[in-house]
Structure 1
Amino acid sequence: MSEYVVYILNSSTYNKIYIGYSSSLNERFYPHNLFTNKGYTLVYSTWRVILINFF
């Protein structure tokens, strides 16, 4: 049985929240603060973790 993680990130600079999920938290979370990553998480970076739940 696979373990999944639901996480919530916060960008306090822009007052934004990002909710994500993954079966591999390390592989998924690392790109959120890379400036080479495109998309929503790049525009509102830098992110900090405010909640992690394992299922």
Structure 2
Amino acid sequence: MTKQSDNPNYTYILKCADGTFYCGWTNDLAKRLAAHNAGTASKYTAPRRPVEIVYTEQFATRQEAMSREYQIKQLNRQEKIDLIRHGSLI
């Protein structure tokens, strides 16, 4: 049985200043975005600031958000662009 938390969990995609994408998960989007832009959240995004959130999905559990993060990380760049633009892969 999967335990649900009171706070929603999110999978998100950031667009970095160099045009690359970064995918992660969190239970506090504003705090995580601030950490990315402060350079403390990820070694990948630190030299690629500023970053902006371009896509999010909400989940009831941490495990669901982490699983979706893994799925998105398997996508190629064009598939990520399609997901961001259309909200689903066709």
TM-score normalised by the shorter chain: which range applies? 0.7 to 0.9
Match of 2:19 in 1: 15
Aligned residue pair count = 53
Match of 1:45 in 2: 49
Runs of 4 or more consecutive aligned structure 1 residues displaced over 6 Å after TM superposition: none
- How far is 1:34 from its partner? 0.6
For structure 1, list consecutive stretches of 5 or more residues without a partner in the other structure: none
Structure exhibiting the larger radius of gyration computed from Cα positions: 2
TM-score (norm 1): 0.76
Select the structure that is richer in strand.
1
- Larger relative CO (CA 8 A, sep 6+): 1 or 2? 1
CA RMSD of aligned residues (A): 1.7
Aligned equivalents of 2:57, 2:9: Cα separation in 1: 8
Q: Residue 11 of structure 2 contacts residue 57 of structure 2 at CA under 8 Å; is this kept in 1?
A: yes
Percent identity between the aligned chains? Answer: 25
- How far is 1:25 from its partner? 2.5
For structure 2, list consecutive stretches of 5 or more residues without a partner in the other structure: 60-90
